[in-house]
Structure formats: C-alpha cells, structure tokens
Amino acid sequence: MPEKKDFDVSVVALAGGVGGARLAHGLVNLLHPDQLSIVVNTGDDFEHLGLTICPDLDTVAYTLAGLANPGTGWGIEGDTFSCLEAIRRLGGSTWFRLGDRDLATHIVRTNLLRQGRRLTEVTHTLTTQLGIRHALLPMCDTPLSTMVLTDQGEMDFQTYFVREAFQPVVKGFRWEGIEEAKPTQEVMAAINSASLVILCPSNPFVSIDPILNLPGVRQALAKCTVVAVSPILGGKVVKGPAAKMFQELGVEASAANVARHYRGLLSGFVLDEIDTDLIEQVQQSGIAARAMPSLMPRIQERVKVARRVLEFGLELQAERKA
C-alpha cells in the first residue's frame, strides 16, 4: 500500500456507481482516514423484498473492502445466488439480482434501520465490520428517490436502470422527497472542513446531482477548490447510461459537456487523454482542464489517477490562495 504522507490536504469525494467507487479506492490508498470523507449518493436507494437496498453505498463499500466483483464493478466477487433461485421458484421478484453474501448486507442494514438507527450510523457499523477506516457518508438519512422521466412514463432509477435495462428514452429527472431531504450533519461538517472536493467520474445526472441538489451543499462547496473527473471518454462511458442520457436530453455526449453541466461550481476538470482536443472547450467555460489516462480497472491505475487528480487539485488550490 502506498505511503499516505504525500498530501497535506483535507478532501471530500462525491461518489456513486462503479467509476466513483474506483476513484474513491485510489484516494483511500493515498490519504489517511482523517484526510478523506466519501459522500455517497442515496438517490438510488429503494425497498425490495422488504429490504432497504443502497446500491451506491454498497458498490463503494465493497470496492474499498476489496470485495467487489471485478467483472461487473458491483456486487461481491464469487457470490452465489441460491436464495434468489429459491425466490424465483416461489414466484417472487428476481429482476434485481441479490447475491447470497450481498443479501446479508441488506438484511443487517434493514434490521438496524428498523431499530431506529440513522442510515449514517448503520453505514458506519457495516463499513467498520468490512474493515473500512475512511468515512463513508450517505448524503442524507431521509429517503430521497431519483425518478427518471421517460417516454414510457416516470419510474424510479432502479426500475429504469436494472429492470428496464436503461432502454426507455430519458426526458428528464425528478427527485422525490427533495422538499424534506437535507444533507446530514456529518456531510456538512466534512464539506465545511475540506479544502478540496472531488466529483468522482460518476453519472452527473443520477449520482452527483442528487448530492448537489441537497439544500446548502452548493453554497458550502463555494469555498472549496472543486475538481471533477469526467465519466465520459471519447463520447462513451465505461459503464452505465450517462452518455445515452446526454444524447436523449439533446446534448452531445462529451467530456466538455460534462464540464459545462457543472459550470459555476468547478475550479478544474479532468478529461481522459483521448479527449485532449476538448481542453480548449472546457477552458472557454472558465474551468482549468487537465488530460490524463483515466481508466481504472485495477488498483494500480486507481492510485495513479487519484494521485494526479490530487496534484491537480493542489495546484489549483495554490492558485486560489495566490
């Protein structure tokens, strides 16, 4: 494991999905637990078979714990599906694939929540048991659901993403519960003590926007150096529907348009080296840009990308202070 003494900085990473989990994995290998908090989207959370499922929290947690399935990026490597097969035989719903070991997470989480504990507290308990030392913070403790507006009607994100295999045409988004939702005290404390905030290469619409839409978050980020990493490389994504969403919303799927999506918030933006020709477009939006290799299938690449993103962020931070 790399020595964690290269960076004198307090960091908050906003994350969701496989790309966000992979960059977070690189960051935890470079920063001490008191230097890094990871705020995770909970807009994907839903109830299934009577259990509270938190897909983004679990994807990040399993990745940091070294448990994630390397083929999918989500779920647990080597998991079995005996319970799911039994549910199928009994006529139950099986469109959301729950592995046997993964199921244990949801059972314990649901039980603790029903005892009246906050999702933040429950997540701390689960991640501690998985050996994760860095703070993994749900964006809020109250329910907030990302609703996808499509040509086939409105549906919650997991229905759109998993059951419908993200085939319906996206028309827009709505966040159910946003009027009552608020960031947790832990999230706001982390942001208020941070000097650098990293928007991981997660889907801007359904992984990062739910966090940014919480009251007070954007205002708190104004004092920070904020760097985003593009989830779109050469007009495509490694996983997920982000590129398709951009196109269906009438916007070209490009790294430059990811930067424009975050306009007014960013100090810097990281593109993959395949998109070097887009640097000028990003800079015309008033955002500093840096191109680098950003694919992160293995821990070696994750640490390299994380190191270069941190270095870029510290450069921008120094410029802000000058």
Residue 306 pLDDT exceeds 70: yes
At a CB cut-off of 8 Å and minimum separation 6, what does 319 contact? none
Residue 156's Cα: distance from chain center in Å? 17
Q: If 0-12 CB within 10 Å is exposed, 13-18 middle and 19+ buried, where does residue 189 land?
A: middle
Tokens of 121: 């507290």
The answer to whether the beta carbons of residues 253 and 236 sit under 8 Å apart is yes
* Closest CA relative to residue 291, chosen from 303, 317, 309: 309
What CATH number belongs to 11-44+133-144+178-321? 3.40.50.10680
Q: If 0-12 CB within 10 Å is exposed, 13-18 middle and 19+ buried, where does residue 89 land?
A: exposed
Q: What angle do CA 9, 232, 276 make, to 5 degrees?
A: 80
How far apart (Å, rounded) are the C-alpha atoms in residues 93 and 19?
28
Q: What are the tens digits of pLDDT across the range 202-214?
A: 999 999 999 999 9
Please report, rounded to a whole number, the percentage of residues in the chain having pLDDT higher than 70.
98
pLDDT category of residue 1 using cuts at 50, 70 and 90: very low
The answer to whether the beta carbons of residues 41 and 213 sit under 8 Å apart is no
* Closest CA relative to residue 64, chosen from 24, 34, 4, 102: 24
How far apart (Å, rounded) are the C-alpha atoms in residues 237 and 230?
9
pTM: 0.96
pLDDT category of residue 2 using cuts at 50, 70 and 90: very low
Residue 8 pLDDT exceeds 70: yes
The answer to whether the beta carbons of residues 149 and 174 sit under 8 Å apart is yes
**Could you tell me the end-to-end alpha-carbon distance of the chain, in angstroms, rounded to an integer?**
34
Residue 283's Cα: distance from chain center in Å? 25
Q: What are the tens digits of pLDDT across the range 142-152?
A: 999 999 999 99
Q: What local confidence, expressed as pLDDT, does residue 5 receive?
A: 53
Q: What are the tens digits of pLDDT across the range 55-100?
A: 999 999 999 999 999 988 889 999 999 999 999 999 999 999 999 9
Residue 150's Cα: distance from chain center in Å? 22
Mean pLDDT, range 157-162, rounded to an integer: 96
| Average pLDDT of every residue of the chain | 95
Q: Which residue shows structure tokens 């993403």?
A: 161
Alpha helix ranges (H) inside 205-298: 209-212, 217-221, 242-248, 255-261, 279-284
Q: What local confidence, expressed as pLDDT, does residue 6 receive?
A: 73
How far apart (Å, rounded) are the C-alpha atoms in residues 290 and 130?
35
How far apart (Å, rounded) are the C-alpha atoms in residues 107 and 174?
29
Beta bridge partners of residue 76, listed in sequence order: 68
Mean pLDDT, range 278-290, rounded to an integer: 96
Q: What local confidence, expressed as pLDDT, does residue 290 receive?
A: 97
